[in-house]
Structure 1
Amino acid sequence: MLGLFTPNYYIHRFNALRPAYLKEHGIELLVCDIDNTLVAHDIAVPDQDVLDFLTAIKEAGIQIVFISNNVEERVATFAKGLDIPYYPFALKPLPKTYWKMLKDYKINKKHVAVLGDQLMTDILGANFVGLHTILTAPVVERDLACTKINRKFENMVFKLLKKTKRLTKGVYHE
């Protein structure tokens, strides 16, 4: 069961994810969460670090898609002008949106990686579907009220992961 909460790769910040790592793992589609993965939840548009990261991934020939539990307006505003498709109100960790993506892109799940900042939504949902999971530390400490609740449960899971020597919070793979 703890395996569903264990990412394949754990990084300190989204831009520590190198295209070479994705290529080595056969990744053709990178599914990116937005809020607190790429920017704080209250930042409407990507900053230069995010733009540079997205450009590097695209230049490596890897497709990108955004996924978010946030509303369409927020996700559309963030994605505007980036030529990156998105799936808002994804209801992660439920797997429905991940399955829809696989169908939409006609891609085998072994070629898909998911980048997110939460064990309880991003990692759990993607692992349930069998995708390659990449956990990043949150961009900022502040969270929405609902995410604060998830973080409490997440901290309990981190303790179990540490106890079982699967993962230690703050000890990154890169």
Structure 2
Amino acid sequence: MLKWFYPKLYISSYQLLNPDYLKQHHIKLLVCDIDNTLVPHDVADPDEAVFAFVEKMKEHGILMALVSNNVEERVKVFAKPLGIPYYPFAKKPFQKQYHQILKDFKLSRDEVAVLGDQLLTDMLGGNLAHFYTILSKPVVTRDLKWTKINRLFENLIYRLLEHKELLIRGEFDDETL
């Protein structure tokens, strides 16, 4: 059961993610969460670091898409200036949007990576889809009300993963990048 929450890579920041690392793992598409993965949930627009990250991925031939449980207007405002596809109100960890992404990009499951900050939505959803999962440290500690509820359950899962010595919060895989 815990395997569904366990990421394949655990990093301290999305900015450290190297396109060459993704290519070594045969990843052609990086599907990113927005809120608390790329920017805080209350930041409407991508910042310079996000633009640089997207440009770096594009330069190296890595396709990108945004997938978020947030409403369409928020996701659209964030995605438009980046010029990348987006999937709002995804209802992660449910699989409908992930199936749509595979269809839209005409890729196989092993060619897609999911980057996000939550075990209950991003990692569970990505693992159920059999994508390469990348957990990043949340960019800030403040969360939306419903995310705070998720974090309570997430803390229990972290404790179980730590007890089994599978994932220790704060012990990142940054050196492998």
Question: Do they fold alike, i.e. is TM over 0.5?
Answer: yes
Tell me which residue corresponds to 1:107. 107
Tell me which residue corresponds to 1:131. 131
The count of aligned residue pairs is 174
**Amino acid aligned to 2:158:** F
Provide the secondary structure at the position in 2 that maps to 1:80: helix
Tell me which residue corresponds to 1:35. 35
**Amino acid aligned to 2:169:** K
Is the counterpart of residue 66 in structure 1 residue 66 in structure 2?
A: yes
Paired with 1:168 and 1:58, the residues of 2 have a C-alpha distance of: 32
Once the 2 structures are TM-superposed, how far is the Cα of residue 81 of structure 1 from its aligned partner? 2.2
**Amino acid aligned to 2:17:** L
Residue by residue over 1:121-166, the C-alpha shift from the partner in whole angstroms, topping out at 9 and shown as x without a partner, is 0000110110000000000000000000000110110010011111
Once the 2 structures are TM-superposed, how far is the Cα of residue 82 of structure 1 from its aligned partner? 1.6
Tell me which residue corresponds to 1:141. 141
**Amino acid aligned to 1:95:** Q
**Amino acid aligned to 1:133:** T
Paired with 1:104 and 1:49, the residues of 2 have a C-alpha distance of: 27
Q: What does 1:1-174 align with in structure 2 at a 5 Å threshold?
A: 1-174=1-174
Paired with 1:81 and 1:95, the residues of 2 have a C-alpha distance of: 27
Provide the secondary structure at the position in 2 that maps to 1:79: helix
Provide the secondary structure at the position in 1 that maps to 2:93: coil
Could you state the TM-score of these two structures normalised by the residue count of structure 1? 0.99
Q: Percent identity?
A: 55
The Cα RMSD (Å) is 0.6
What runs of 5+ residues in structure 1 fail to find an aligned partner? Answer: none
Provide the secondary structure at the position in 2 that maps to 1:21: helix
Paired with 1:105 and 1:19, the residues of 2 have a C-alpha distance of: 18
Residue by residue over 1:60-109, the C-alpha shift from the partner in whole angstroms, topping out at 9 and shown as x without a partner, is 10100000000000000001222100000000011111111111111001
Paired with 2:45 and 2:23, the residues of 1 have a C-alpha distance of: 27
